[in-house]
Amino acid sequence: MFKPIIAIAKATVGEAIRRRVLLIILFVAVILLFVAPLLGVLSARQEKTVLTGFVLGIVQLSSAVIAITLTVYMLPNEVERRTIYTILSKPVQRYQFLVGKYLGAVAALALMMGLMACVTLLEFGIIQHDWPKGVELLQGISMFFVQMSLLASVAMCLSTFVAPLVNFFLSGGIYLIGTLGYAFFDSFNKNPNAPVYSKALAWFVSTILPNFASYNVQNKLINPEVQIQNPLQYSINAVVYGGFYIAIMLIAGMLIFDRKEV
Amino acid sequence: MAAAIETKKLTKSYKSKAHGMVDVVSDLDLHVEEGEIFGFLGPNGAGKTTTIKMLLSIIEQTSGEGYVLGHELGDVEVHKVISYVPERPYYYEYMTGMEILKFYGSLFGITDTARMDMLLEKVNLHRDKTKTISQFSKGMQQRIGLAQALLNDPKLLFLDEPTGGLDPIAHREIRDLILGFREEGRTVFISSHELSEVELICDRVAIINHGVIARQGKLTELLKGGRVELSVTGVDKGILSGMSIGDGNIHDTPGGILFDVPEEADINSIIDGVRANKGSVLSVVPRKKRLEDLFVETVTAK
């Protein structure tokens, strides 16, 4: 059961880390991470605070673009290039193919985010002489990794029935709403005085769409005075939520993909 | 002989906005015997690839039934003993020939690198096993496709346009490999437009047109009905017209007389008749019916 999944995942990683568009995004992100300290100097605010925010912003944005770009073309490309037929004519079930592709995408994402994390650590440790801050940022980046894995599962699920370009904007839109608008919609949903239709929309967004916001740890890292009461419990909850949501997305994707005419 | 493939009224329909439900393949009754090379022919859009996808259980039939090596369509177990090489196959370009075999082998749980080496040698790629697929020519890509298809020692191979777009040398290499498969006892199901190629290697063929099987049978039987042209001189046409030539014709030509007779006509008695009348036989030219003629005749028939 697992051998085909692992083989497909490995092949997916091999392809993903050679995709020029992803390498360009990664290259730009790494360059920006290197020049980030210069921008901190130019800022009127506390230099390290600006640098931390900027670095996390670069990692998050570039990882999100990589996660979406990586996954939206994954299944359509396999169909277009007919690779899927040679694979599905072997003793491979469709769900194994889908899971293998997803795990490959997540592994490739881990490699690329790992590179950005290394650059961040070196930057804070060697250039800024602040290893503890660097290590703290790594924790933030690892939360981003869970967030991006969740985003990749959403894009992967959508790719089973939506065209790549539509999927790109749809996944991007879901990510933006789930990141920036989640808290707003959640409070709206809980407001008893809100109109019914607005509440319905707010309920949909805050219940059905994934809560990407819980992985955004910039606030605490940028402003140390902001405290999470039990950080470990918070992280565990966020990871469990992510794992649960990823499982739902993959199961939905499998069910759709299983009936899809390829 | 047991059937490698057997379908009964196999149908695949799709919803079309303009025409409602459209049958891409309709009531397909296909019979492929074990150990033969079977040609599956048809014009573009006739339903060849859809049929192959149904036989491989990649898509589900709308109605009808089918069996591949005794397994009902949809049974993925049969994938352990069949293989497929699609038209213009794409393989992960960053992989070498050996890595491709390792990848496809891992889908079966096959890790025997000695067997992979042997397969690379069989398809004449053993000297190129460290080259990446991006460095492969079309012919080499087709050959690595055949090598990956042989990994599981399949009893039945599906080849979709195996010689499409290849140069004559690569054509011959692929053809020889396919003929070798028959000698090894494998059944080969070929979908192709290369009619001369099919005529050379296939035992039986089926011609599909608009989703319906229009002809199916042994090539030798389907291609019956050829003609023989005899060119003679030195005899009077009136004497010859009394000969029994079936539905043959006799024409005057500048050099003499031309007989155009069915291949089953008694050619020897015509020659004897000409000689008995002091005439000379200039040439005897058999005009064999070609698969191309049969194909055109079938797909253009109303």
User: Which residue from A minimizes the CA distance to B77?
Assistant: A91
The residue to which tokens 């490995």 are assigned: A10
What are the sequence ranges of the domains in chain B? 3-222, 227-292
Closest-CA distance, A147 to chain B, in angstroms, reads: 29
Report how many domains make up chain A: 1
Is A88 touching B (CB cutoff 8 A)? yes
Is A260 touching B (CB cutoff 8 A)? no
> Whose CA is closest to B203, among B184, B226, B223, B225?
B223
Closest-CA distance, B80 to chain A, in angstroms, reads: 6
Element (H, E) at B67: strand B63-68
* A-contacting residues in B 52-71 (Cβ below 8 Å): 53, 56, 58-59
**Are B58 and A14 a contacting pair at CB < 8 A?**
no
User: Which residues touch B139 (CB under 8 Å, ≥6 apart)?
Assistant: B166, B167, B169, B170, B173, B174
The total number of residues written for chain B in this structure: 302
**Are B106 and A3 a contacting pair at CB < 8 A?**
yes
Q: Coil, strand or helix: which one is A201? A: helix
Pairing of strands B71-72, B63-68: antiparallel
Which chain B residues are closer than 8 Å to A86 by Cβ?
84-86, 89, 91, 104, 145, 148
Instruction: Give the lowest-confidence range in A107-121, A228-242, B18-32, B131-145.
Output: A228-242
**Are B58 and A89 a contacting pair at CB < 8 A?**
yes
Round to whole Å and give the CA distance between A103 and A105: 5
- pTM of the predicted model as reported, rounded to 2 decimal places: 0.85
Average pLDDT of chain A?
Answer: 89
The total number of residues written for chain A in this structure: 262
**Are B107 and A7 a contacting pair at CB < 8 A?**
yes
Segment A170-227, tens digit of pLDDT: 999 999 998 887 777 777 777 788 888 888 888 887 788 898 988 887 666 666 666 6
Instruction: Give the lowest-confidence range in A58-62, A150-154, A188-192.
Output: A188-192
Which chain B residues are closer than 8 Å to A15 by Cβ?
92, 94
Say what the pLDDT of residue A262 is. 85
Say what the pLDDT of residue B36 is. 96
Beta bridge partners of B14: B22
Do A149 and A241 contact (CB within 8 A), yes or no? no
pLDDT at A75 over 80: yes
User: Mutation test of the interface with chain A: which of B107, B148, B158, choosing the one with the most A Cβ atoms within 10 A?
Assistant: B107
Segment B61-95, tens digit of pLDDT: 999 999 999 999 999 899 999 999 988 888 999 99
Instruction: Report ipTM for this prediction.
Output: 0.85
Do A90 and B104 contact (CB within 8 A), yes or no? yes
Say what the pLDDT of residue B289 is. 84
**Are B80 and A91 a contacting pair at CB < 8 A?**
yes
Say what the pLDDT of residue A219 is. 66
Do B3 and B189 contact (CB within 8 A), yes or no? no
Fold category of B3-222 in CATH:
Rossmann fold (3.40.50)
User: Which residue from A minimizes the CA distance to B12?
Assistant: A261
Is B76 touching A (CB cutoff 8 A)? yes
pLDDT at A45 over 70: no
Q: Which CATH number fits the domain B227-292, given the four candidates 1.20.120, 3.30.70, 1.10.150, 3.40.50?
A: 3.30.70
Say what the pLDDT of residue B302 is. 67
Segment A107-148, tens digit of pLDDT: 999 999 999 999 999 988 888 888 888 888 998 999 999 999
Q: Which residue type does B205 have?
A: V
B164-192: average pLDDT: 90
**A149: containing domain:** 2-259
Strands ordered across the beta sheet of B280-287: B249-253, B256-262, B227-233, B280-287
Instruction: Give the lowest-confidence range in A125-134, B137-146, B290-299.
Output: A125-134
B106-116: average pLDDT: 94
**Are B86 and A85 a contacting pair at CB < 8 A?**
yes
Say what the pLDDT of residue A222 is. 61
Tokens of A10: 């490995």
Burial of A241 (0-12, 13-18, 19+ CB in 10 A): middle
pLDDT at A102 over 80: yes
Ordered alpha helix ranges (H), A17-130? 20-42, 47-72, 74-80, 83-88, 94-122
